[in-house]
Structure 1
């Protein structure tokens, strides 16, 4: 059974705070209180934990762009797609990759090939997430301390690095190792079979991004998917603990305390409440909260609360649901996601296989949320959902994946590949006029990077597309 990652002790929390061995170009001053030669086990603890938080950080950054969330305040920059400063998120991504570089060097030198393989998989994930947000980024010169102003690598070349790292990780995870991963791994507790499934799932994820490019192969996506997750028990996640809540739970708690975060977009509510699609989705009540009057009412992105300024007049994230319980798992990759990748990859050549994968993706997500069996059966029997293989469209696959990847940053990759084609999705009110009536396509480089490495930072606009989004 999948390892349940319970970080219960002060010692565990202490490891997270002290294990970092970051000495990349991001570091300006040396902190004498931080260890300079962290052990592999401590690095693994920090890396697996912080990788899950990087998924949250990215999800939080882009959830307004895909209209899962909306700001309660009109013309909020997060809603209206203004250039924002993501220096903290950039730093977090590079901190983890610096720790991974150090751990992988140590693991290779010591023959600890399980750690090396897992480290290569996680380097691929963190690099891939960074490229998907920013395009060209520093990598080849970032971790060897030869310069504090590293050059930027081409985003398409870096995707080749992501795929190579995954292949290397798969190979090394299967080799004899001088030491075994254990409870220092907060994702799988050292279960190598699950690490291998995770690596193949990530291969399918990053290959589906390339759809439409010269290097894309649907058969290769399906081959990777066939070796990926086989049930929800395989999901890659980190479960939180008494000293540190799941950050989406913290957002729900903050909102209940009038800090006004985690408000739900009208687009997402209407995708589930029977407005945009013919049937009411039984998952809605398990994912978001109601108003004080027991209704599901979203907030229009860019318009804010409008004529309902009072707390409780709009749907928000509420504590205690699957995504927002204090010890809820923070999802990195899921079986449901993989089935929708499989459905998309099979769609052009095998509609029957695509439909089977599409239905299994819905089933997997509903089972994850513990949807009532009768409600699940009724939803799947509705002709707008269980339409049969011949009537299945790519729109159906993207719609159900949109629901199943709630709050996950992968949805922004889908939205850009899909040209924001979700039914009834409109540009936010008061949208950034510099976008010329179009949707945002990338993030601006963070202020800290422009200040520190400005001569190398590419000149881009928010409409410039990364290599796979053409």
Structure 2
């Protein structure tokens, strides 16, 4: 099951670096228990890069489930919620977590508390992503380099570990360190204040998932919000350059070359073009491409493109927009997301705070996309948007969060908590019959895991819920 010996390319601002000390890091070895003896700087380069890339990898799976994207091919498994292979996603999550275990241990031995703290925060991010999509996972026995068939830990216990990593990471960021992070950090370039805000933002993210459980505490969550991101300048993201381009830019480029992908769901188009709501969202033209006729026309999930040609008649991701530019960032966590978390948490205890956070979340995302202020003001004045604090509902908050987290895997967590109740969101055509007319609730375990560690893999279906997804 374990994945170690890996050759990873790493990037640095303006040039590509060869990570010499880690030059065997992407060669998969049948002996999974022999990690390279890499320096902490090289491990941080790899871990910041791959952690961000894992956000893309998971988002690439979940974007069809939440109807950002739709396949141009009818009955595509990604649309119809049929089981798909998750081998690569599983591999990459464990790959980076293996590096992070080594980094945490090495940093502790060397007294490099800031490296240790950043690694613990990244561990929380990757483990949290894994639990959110798979549920139970092997963890406590997975990194001792002796057990090749590790037992599974429960998803609820793993969430406690996620929170512990965040707490320990925060403590280490505030401690004296023998080595300072710098350009080997592809997310924040060693800015410890931003790392600290990132950790608090992740705490808020994972705490809002627990909203339907007895352990949830809205005031505790809002305390985390207060220490989280204060503006878009603090967003956790990985930026690219011409030698290592944004993967969504690759999708848009491939589609232009008739390797079809990145087609936009009609649900997303109609939520922004004035069909589902009383306002045309100015972000529409900044996020997706128009048809050859200058219109925005989506594709029905599960139905495919029908008689439409391969290009020009449906909206798709196109190159050089905010999410699809060659140097566009992968967004790991944003100020806009945090404001919508705040709005949801405050809704039942402080409606004034909730409404202001809701508006701030919209504004933050629009500013990120460089929407002109006049267009922002017009949008906020629409009756379906500027509803007033007394009329604000969870529907308003999660609709706007859905738009603001375009292509991000966190939206699938919201969708399941919300039971997919977005306005006009319907089940895809040709739905997987095993789902019995219901939306998917989790990913299947990968074939690689069932073949190597099958005796420990939980017996679950796509309808079985992770612990926080309460009926």
Aligned to 1:393: 393
CA deviations on 1:42-65 (whole Å, 9 max, x unpaired) are 000000000110000000011000
Unpaired runs of 5+ residues, structure 1, are none
Superimposed CA distance per residue, residues 124-156 of structure 1 (whole angstroms, 9 cap, x where no aligned partner): 000000000100000000001121000000000
CA distance in 2, matches of 1:293, 1:15: 47
Structure 1 pair 21–101 and aligned structure 2 pair: CA distance change class (3 A): farther
Q: What residue number does 1:115 align with?
A: 115
Given that 1:201 and 1:225 are in contact with CA atoms closer than 8 Å, whether structure 2 keeps it comes out as yes
For 1:405, the equivalent position in structure 2 comes to 405
Shift of residue 22, structure 1, vs aligned partner: 8.3
> Which residues in structure 2 correspond to 1:270-309 (within 5 Å)?
270-309=270-309
Q: Distance in 2 between matches of 1:27 and 1:278?
A: 56
When the two chains are superposed, the root-mean-square deviation of aligned CA atoms in Å is 1.6
Query: 1:21·1:102 contact (CA, 8 Å) conserved in 2?
Result: no
Is 1:9 the counterpart of 2:15? The answer is yes
Counterpart secondary structure, 1:317: coil
CA distance in 1, matches of 2:24, 2:440: 34
Whether the aligned pair in 2 keeps the contact of 1:20 and 1:43 (CA below 8 Å) is no
SS at match of 1:331: strand
What is the Cα deviation at residue 374 of structure 1?
A: 1.0
Q: Cα distance 1:35–1:85, how it changes in 2: closer, same or farther (>3 A)?
A: closer
String of CA shifts for 1:92-145, please: whole Å, max 9, x gaps. Answer: 000000000000000001110000000100000000000001000000000011
Mapping of residues 310-459 of structure 1, within 5 Å: 310-459=310-459
Q: Does 1:268 align with 2:268?
A: yes
| Distance of aligned partners of 1:21 and 1:257 in 2 relative to their CA distance in 1, 3 Å threshold | closer
Counterpart mapping for 1:37-76 below 5 A:
37-76=37-76
Verify the 8 A CA contact 1:19 1:46 in the aligned structure 2. no
Count of aligned pairs between the two proteins: 460
Deviation by residue 1:194-251 (Cα, 9 ceiling, x = unmatched)? 0000000000000000001011000011000000000000000010022111000010
Say which is worse superposed, 87-96 or 305-314, in terms of deviation: 305-314
In structure 2, the CA distance between the partners of 1:469 and 1:336, relative to structure 1 (3 Å rule), is same
- Preserved CA contact (<8 Å) 1:6 1:240: no
Where do 4+ consecutive residues of structure 1 move more than 3 Å? 16-23
Q: How far apart, CA to CA, are the structure 1 residues paired with 2:168 and 2:90?
A: 25
TM-score (norm 1): 0.96
Superposition deviation, residue 21 in structure 1: 5.7
- State how far apart, in whole Å, the 2-side matches of 1:236 and 1:196 are: 11
After TM superposition, the structure 1 stretch with the greater mean CA deviation from structure 2, 381-390 or 420-429, is 381-390
Q: Aligned pair in 2 of structure 1 residues 225, 30: CA closer, same or farther (>3 Å)?
A: closer
Cα offset for 1:29?
A: 4.1
Distance 1:68 1:312 in 2: 19
Distance, in Å, in 2 between the alignment partners of 1:329 and 1:76 is 28
Distance 1:420 1:270 in 2: 16
Q: State the TM-score, normalizing by the size of structure 2.
A: 0.95
21 and 250 in structure 1: CA distance in 2 versus 1, 3 angstrom threshold: closer
Deviations 1:325-374, CA, capped at 9 Å, x for gaps: 00001100000000000000000011110000000000000000000111
Distance in 2 between the 1:246 and 1:232 partners? 19
SS state of the match for residue 390, structure 2?
helix
8 Å contact kept, 2:237–2:331: yes
Q: CA deviation at 1:16?
A: 9.0
Please give the residue correspondences for 1:197-212 in structure 2 after superposition, counting only pairs within 5 Å. Answer: 197-212=197-212
Structure 2 distance, partners of 1:428, 1:131, is 25
Mapped contact 2:292–2:313 kept (Cα < 8 A): yes
Using the alignment, how far apart are the partners of 2:24 and 2:213 within structure 1?
A: 38
